[in-house]
Amino acid sequence: MVDITPADAVPPAEVAEMELYHPHSWWTKYVFSQDAKVIAIQYSATATAIGLVALVLSWLMRLQLGFPGTFDFITPEAYYQFITMHGMIMVIYLLTALFLGGFGNYLIPLMVGARDMVFPYVNMLSYWIYLLAVLVLVSSFFAPGGPTGAGWTLYPPQAIMTGTPGGQDWGIMLMLISLILFIIGFTMGGLNYVVTVLQARTRGMTLMRLPLTVWGIFTATVMALLAFPALFVACVMMLFDRALGTSFFMPAIVEMGEQLQHGGGSPILFQHLFWFFGHPEVYIVALPAFGIVSDLISTHARKNIFGYRMMVWAIVGIGALSFVVWAHHMYVSGMHPYFGFFFATTTLIIAVPTAIKVYNWVLTLWRGDIHLTIPMLFALAFIVTFVNGGLTGLFLGNVVVDVPLSDTMFVVAHFHMVMGVAPILVIFGAIYHWYPKVTGRMLNEAMGRFHFWVTFLGAYLIFFPMHYIGLMGVPRRYNELTDMTVMTESAHHLNSFISIMAFMVGFAQMVFLFNLIWSIRHGREAGGNPWRATTLEWQTPQTPPAHGNFGKELPIVYRWAYDYSVPGAKEDFIPQNMPGSFGSSREPA
């Protein structure tokens, strides 16, 4: 079928070398750098910094929920501001930016065997616009009236009205401007990630030899490029409504006894636009996590990934399907029942490719030579957490179950498990896995294990009880849960317990951050390939990889990314760029 030349070394290909930009000063080397690796670190550092803000905000919320009435400075307005900013930061400025801007920038060129991204200048601009977006977001904390408190979904009409914090002040304007900037910056980066995968793969790196990490990031980026315009449109139109007085989303409304000048607009229109972005966003975060976790599991179980083709198809399938499920976030908007039925069906269909992926991870582990390294621990924790979060997704995907549960803590628990905890566990695993490549040193093992166990168990102790109090009917979005019939004494105790756990998990993240900084100097020397992995980023001549990644000649790829424990081979891994035939790497019969 396919014409494959024998697996001996072939002469270096006449690959047209890209013109690399060479920095001339300290500023262009480390600050206004066009090197994707530096940009990746800039993205990651910025995302982590703003993520810390989100972490602190979640503590403040838990203080209020766990111990209502104790902290006077957490007014209802402040509580809504914390909720909004926590959600927005985590979903967009942390997860999206870290997976695509951080891991995408670092890993794509290295893993496909390229010297750099294809449009390095645009890539640099992408980061600086992202930073600007973050700064605008942060500035809203200091603006008159504070940041917006509209909830991360920013639903009109309340988002731009007087009763909502920031609605008639600067908060919502800054939020919308920041989002618009983020989308512009992301589009610049996204073009790079997609076109680099398309055009800059080294010789022999066919699409079906790409590591799944690249597949995940690539597909997620394509989705993001098509989904973020919806948020862009929604933001621009809302900005018009708020600043210029148009009525795209604003119905005729009376505020404080006064008729507003708006009239006739449709808040549902905003919901459609928002969720047309919002649902793909879930998978924009999840697909890179799927890809990365596949590579972590295969490497640390010393076994080829089970069903590679199926994994690729599932990634692409999930990417396509996720564009036709958006209205399952809108069951309670009063939509037509048949409409809801359609979206419930598509939602449940997504469970099929996702389940395929979970089975394949488990089957990869089956009879593998499992090394319980820290990346592996996080990967295993991810599988469990993703399954748990996914199962409650099956509940909520059905209209009749969703309607009563929609405004309860059950939903909060569901989406935190599936798109909060699960992807973040992968991020941690990935950092422990690739930190040695980025810095040349291992992260401290003891601190890492402490971090893992407190985070993993702690996250469960936070979110498992939350399912229960959700089922009891405890509502979400309420800043004080005291005088309600559903708030029994045990529910109060659970709430306090959740809060205490949240502080402990947060503390573990401080240990992690300390580890990140401490290990740059004091970590164990890692060498070039500490995990004995096959993919190209571990085969660079220098660690950390130098500008241009691969010395004088680009590597040539002779095999797929998962040749672990091949019978007949000398070592239990064969790098992708190693020529020669080593028996068959067929899956064990």
Q: What are phi and psi of 92, to 5 degrees?
A: -100, -55
Give 140's contacts (C-beta < 8 A, 6+ positions apart): 146, 147, 148, 166, 170, 171, 174, 175, 178
Q: Which of residues 335 and 461 has its CB atom nearest to other proteins in the complex?
A: 335
Which one of residues 374, 418, 454, 556 is an interface residue with other proteins (CB under 8 A)? Answer: 556
Q: By CB under 8 A, is residue 7 in contact with other proteins?
A: yes
Helix (H) or strand (E) holding 268: helix 267-300
Q: Which of residues 272 and 532 has its CB atom nearest to other proteins in the complex?
A: 272
- Strand blocks (E) in 95-219: none
Q: How far is the CB of 324 from other proteins (least distance, A)?
A: 8
For 254-261, which contacts have Cβ atoms below 8 Å and span 24 or more sequence positions?
255/161, 255/162, 255/163, 256/162
Q: Which of residues 328 and 414 has its CB atom nearest to other proteins in the complex?
A: 328
Q: List the interface residues with other proteins, window 118-177 (CB under 8 A).
A: 118-119
Q: Which of residues 86 and 559 has its CB atom nearest to other proteins in the complex?
A: 559
Contacting range for other proteins; rule: CB under 8 A; set: 191-199, 386-394, 395-403, 509-517? 191-199
Which one of residues 134, 137, 205, 481 is an interface residue with other proteins (CB under 8 A)? Answer: 205
Tokens of 311: 């994994």
Q: By CB under 8 A, is residue 333 in contact with other proteins?
A: no
Q: How far is the CB of 307 from other proteins (least distance, A)?
A: 10
Q: How far is the CB of 424 from other proteins (least distance, A)?
A: 28
Q: How far is the CB of 200 from other proteins (least distance, A)?
A: 7
Q: By CB under 8 A, is residue 485 in contact with other proteins?
A: no
- Residue 422 DSSP SS3: helix
CA dist list (Å): 281 to 7, 76, 108, 370, 471: 41, 29, 20, 32, 26
Q: How far is the CB of 270 from other proteins (least distance, A)?
A: 9
Which one of residues 93, 276, 283, 550 is an interface residue with other proteins (CB under 8 A)? Answer: 276
Q: By CB under 8 A, is residue 24 in contact with other proteins?
A: no
Which one of residues 131, 132, 253, 324 is an interface residue with other proteins (CB under 8 A)? Answer: 324
As a whole number of angstroms, the distance between CA 241 and CA 174 comes to: 14
Which one of residues 320, 355, 486, 513 is an interface residue with other proteins (CB under 8 A)? Answer: 320
Contacting range for other proteins; rule: CB under 8 A; set: 220-228, 343-351, 462-470, 494-502? 220-228
Q: Which amino acid is at 271?
A: Q
Q: List the interface residues with other proteins, window 223-242 (CB under 8 A).
A: 225-226, 229-230, 232-233, 236-237, 240
Nearest to 293 by CA among 95, 195, 432, 458: 432
Q: How far is the CB of 219 from other proteins (least distance, A)?
A: 10
Count of other CB atoms within 10 angstroms of residue 272: 17
Which one of residues 139, 153, 247, 406 is an interface residue with other proteins (CB under 8 A)? Answer: 247
Tokens of 79: 């509580």
End-to-end CA distance of the chain: 23
Q: List the interface residues with other proteins, window 386-425 (CB under 8 A).
A: none
Q: Which of residues 273 and 413 has its CB atom nearest to other proteins in the complex?
A: 273
CB 369 within 8 A of CB 572: yes
Q: How far is the CB of 14 from other proteins (least distance, A)?
A: 6
Q: How far is the CB of 359 from other proteins (least distance, A)?
A: 18
CB 199 within 8 A of CB 108: no
- Residue 13 DSSP SS3: coil
Per-residue binding letters, 282-311, with other proteins (x by CB under 8 A): ----------------------x---xx--
Q: By CB under 8 A, is residue 10 in contact with other proteins?
A: yes
**CA 400 distance to own-chain centroid:** 30
Q: Determine if the peptide bond prior to 544 is cis (ω within 30°).
A: yes
Q: By CB under 8 A, is residue 562 in contact with other proteins?
A: yes
- List b or e across 154-166, with b for residues whose CB sees 16 or more CB atoms inside 10 angstroms: bbbbbbbbeebbb
As a whole number of angstroms, the distance between CA 22 and CA 548 comes to: 9
Angle between helix 445-472 and helix 374-397 axes, rounded to 10 deg: 10
Q: How far is the CB of 90 from other proteins (least distance, A)?
A: 25
Contacting range for other proteins; rule: CB under 8 A; set: 37-45, 190-198, 361-369, 379-387? 190-198
Residue holding tokens 């148009």? 246
Q: By CB under 8 A, is residue 471 in contact with other proteins?
A: no
Which one of residues 79, 130, 452, 558 is an interface residue with other proteins (CB under 8 A)? Answer: 558
Task: Quote the radius of gyration of the chain (alpha carbons, Å).
Answer: 24
Q: Which of residues 52 and 356 has its CB atom nearest to other proteins in the complex?
A: 356
As a whole number of angstroms, the distance between CA 170 and CA 362 comes to: 49
Q: Which of residues 274 and 432 has its CB atom nearest to other proteins in the complex?
A: 274
Q: By CB under 8 A, is residue 366 in contact with other proteins?
A: no
As a whole number of angstroms, the distance between CA 460 and CA 418 comes to: 12
Q: How far is the CB of 193 from other proteins (least distance, A)?
A: 10
Binding-residue total with other proteins (CB under 8 A): 78
- Residue 231 DSSP SS3: helix
Q: By CB under 8 A, is residue 585 in contact with other proteins?
A: yes
